[in-house]
Amino acid sequence: MKSLQIVPRDGHSLYGAMIRKQAEIRKAGRGTFSRTGARRSKAARWTHVRYKGSIELKSADADAVSARIKSPDRGDEARLLSSFLGWIDRHFGTQIASVSIQYQ
């Protein structure tokens, strides 16, 4: 399992923007991530179309976002991490101050 802490630059609410962007991409019939499970206001669970496992997103303190990437396959976990980081960089790269990863 890998835990990420994504800290936005000042004045940006990142969690809501991420949820809206993912929904917009899926509505257009594109994208590799899809939201699964019950709808919650401060948390979401995403799966990837190709890799096993999931990404659990939570709204953390001061507009930061925490993400936990879990997969039964270590290779898929690494690919999920890479895909998620690429997605964040493409869509929110200018709005992010830092991303820290903890390997567990």
Percent of the chain residues past pLDDT 70, beyond the cut? 100
DSSP at 32:
S
Residue 2 CA to residue 83 CA, distance in Å, equals 13
Question: What domains lie within the chain, and their CATH numbers?
Answer: 2-103 (3.30.310.50)
Q: What is the pTM of this model?
A: 0.90
How sure is the predictor about 78, in pLDDT bands with cuts at 50, 70 and 90?
very high
Question: Using CB atoms within 10 A of its CB, is residue 39 exposed (0-12), middle (13-18) or buried (19+)?
Answer: exposed
pLDDT digits (tens, 9 = 90+) for 92-104: 999 999 999 999 8
Q: Take residue 74 and report the two structure tokens written for it.
A: 């270590």
